[in-house]
Amino acid sequence: MDMELKKVGDLEFPPRKVWMKTYGCQMNYHDSERILSHLSNLNFTATAEQSEADLVIFNTCAVRDLANQKFYSHLGETKKLKTHPDINPETGMKKDVIVAAGGCIAQTEGKDLITKYKQLDFAFGTDVIDNIGEMVYRAYAGEKKFSVTSWDRSENYSIETKITQGSPQAYVNIIKGCDKFCSYCIVPFTRGREKSRRLTEIVTDVKRLVEYSGVQEIMLLGQNVNSFGKDNNESLAQLILELDQINGLERLRYTTSHPYDVTDELIAAHAQAKKLVNHLHLPVQSGSNTVLQRMLREYTVEHYLTLLEKMRKANPEMIITTDIIAGFPNETEEEHLETMKLLDLAQYDFIYGYTFSQRKGTKAARMSDVLTDDIRLRRLREIQDKQLFIQGKIRQEMIGKNYRILVEDKGINKGITKWTGRTSCNRIVHFEPLTLEQDYKWHWVDVEITSATALSTQGRFVRDHGKRPL
């Protein structure tokens, strides 16, 4: 059998397949891409079929109970991979499937996981992603049942962005960790302390992505992205203005912001930077000052609304989205109604709503709580119903206007083929192609909006600019 071996250290690596499942936020997806990129150096290629895999990796999320449960159930299913080893058709060898868990659950529970789950060979945390090659090497050298969850203690945070997808969109991590310790949130425990990359390193990194990898749209990432640079006397606004100068870069996004760290300088950047999109995701969590205090969010509803006003003044096209938690411990009906009122005042384009989920180790988990799951769910439904009404009305205003979208994919619904892309303000638009043969993937296309509801926006094809906008 024709098989190209790759010698790494004392071991030979035949071509192998890795199957990876990612849960959670963009940061985890960014990490997964790094993992795949490192594994390609050990002769791995990705597969979408778990049954074909030699290496199975879960990149886990701990933010809410649901994400945890999904992972545990998927991990349970991997037992059968271990008990029925197959023959690898490419190597002709018996497959020794290695199963690993990384990410946020593994960071805090790595040791327990490998003890409890027999099929799990190793666990690794969020700050050792770049050592994945070494860990896989150890596993293939015969070492099993280890957990690596150490924190990187070096003073500087320095990386080069890795991409594997060949798409014009890329995540660029600019700050890791979170120092905010909101009382409900597990992230500061799973991602450690804040550490920023240096501004010049990021600019060089983005220039390289644009020049050599055809990247046109960048999402700057951080758990608290607008804390960027505090440790180095630099700022997100400065970074945005520098990146705005890069020829060939078309769109710049950033997520996720904390209202406490939105400065006037950042608001001004939204007026100045031409490539910065007309969208800001600014999680509010609650419309009640007393709940915000118990959440340790460090701002008031009034301050938050002033920020929205300033943003919309700096850029009248600005679209705002948010996150809301329904049923924080002991939230009263009045406090819940204050959140409902905020929806009217803020006029969000979209919200991510969650019921409060108790996370072990957080301050909120130690609060006594009178609310039931039913109350939380009912409040979340009320929030979502009201928001759908508001956003339906906002979206109606798009009808008749032209938008430029970056086309991502196509789908067939009830026999009709439609392509889908995103506007600068991050709204998804579907449109029918002129001919079925036309391939619009990663094209910049102008569309005129023909209909819009709270959940779906349809457009009419106007003009195709190809893979580079005119």
Interface contacts to ligand F3S, rule CB under 6 A: 24-25, 27-28, 61-63, 103-104, 186-187, 190-191
C-alpha neighbours within 13 Å on the C-beta side of residue 55: 30
One of 357, 391, 423, 424 touching ligand SAM (CB under 6 A): 357
**CA–CA distance, 199 with 201 (Å, rounded to integer):** 5
Task: Give me the least distance between CB of 335 and ligand SAM, in Å please.
Answer: 16
Q: Which is nearer to ligand SAM, 135 or 291 (CB)?
A: 291
**CA–CA distance, 72 with 82 (Å, rounded to integer):** 16
Q: Which is nearer to ligand SF4, 181 or 389 (CB)?
A: 181
Task: Give me the least distance between CB of 285 and ligand SF4, in Å please.
Answer: 7
Please list, in sequence order, all residues whose beta carbon lies within 8 angstroms of the beta carbon of residue 170, skipping any fewer than 6 positions away: 161, 163, 209, 213, 215, 217, 218, 219
- 104: partner contacted, choices ligand F3S, ligand SF4, ligand SAM, none (Cβ within 5-8 A by kind): ligand F3S
Query: Which tokens belong to 447?
Result: 């569309």
Query: Which tokens belong to 278?
Result: 């007309």
Please list, in sequence order, all residues whose beta carbon lies within 8 angstroms of the beta carbon of residue 72, skipping any fewer than 6 positions away: none
Is residue 256 a contact residue for ligand SAM (CB under 6 A)? yes
Return the beta strands (E) in 121-191 as ranges. Answer: 122-124, 146-148, 169-173, 175-176
- 168: partner contacted, choices ligand SF4, ligand F3S, ligand SAM, none (Cβ within 5-8 A by kind): none
Asked if residue 103 lies in contact with residue 58, where contact means CB atoms within 8 angstroms, the answer is yes
- 28: partner contacted, choices ligand SAM, ligand F3S, ligand SF4, none (Cβ within 5-8 A by kind): ligand F3S
- The CB density around residue 198, as the number of other CB atoms within 10 Å, is 17
Task: Give me the least distance between CB of 60 and ligand F3S, in Å please.
Answer: 7
**Strand 44-46 to strand 16-22: parallel, antiparallel, or no bridges (unpaired)?**
parallel
Asked if residue 386 lies in contact with residue 443, where contact means CB atoms within 8 angstroms, the answer is no
Q: Which is nearer to ligand SF4, 177 or 421 (CB)?
A: 177
Q: Which is nearer to ligand SF4, 147 or 339 (CB)?
A: 339
- 188: partner contacted, choices ligand F3S, ligand SAM, ligand SF4, none (Cβ within 5-8 A by kind): ligand SF4
Q: What are phi and psi of 371, to 5 degrees?
A: -80, 150
- 354: partner contacted, choices ligand SF4, ligand F3S, ligand SAM, none (Cβ within 5-8 A by kind): ligand SAM
Task: Give me the least distance between CB of 336 and ligand F3S, in Å please.
Answer: 24
Task: Give me the least distance between CB of 97 and ligand SF4, in Å please.
Answer: 34
Inter-helix orientation angle 103-116/26-40, to 10°: 70
Is residue 30 a contact residue for ligand SAM (CB under 6 A)? no
Q: Is 111 helix (H, G, I), strand (E, B) or coil?
A: helix
Inter-helix orientation angle 236-243/199-213, to 10°: 30
Query: Which tokens belong to 261?
Result: 């760290």
Q: What count of residues does the chain have? A: 470
Q: Which is nearer to ligand SAM, 65 or 160 (CB)?
A: 65
The rounded Cα 5 to chain-centroid distance in angstroms is 35
Task: Give me the least distance between CB of 421 and ligand SF4, in Å please.
Answer: 29
Q: Which residues bind ligand SF4 (CB under 6 A)?
A: 178, 180-182, 185, 187-188, 223-224, 258
Judged by CB under 6 A, the stretch of 78-86, 299-307, 355-363, 423-431 that binds ligand SAM is 355-363
User: Can you give the binding site for ligand SAM, defined by CB under 6 A?
Assistant: 25, 63-64, 184-185, 187, 223-224, 256, 258, 283, 285, 323, 325, 354, 356-357, 359
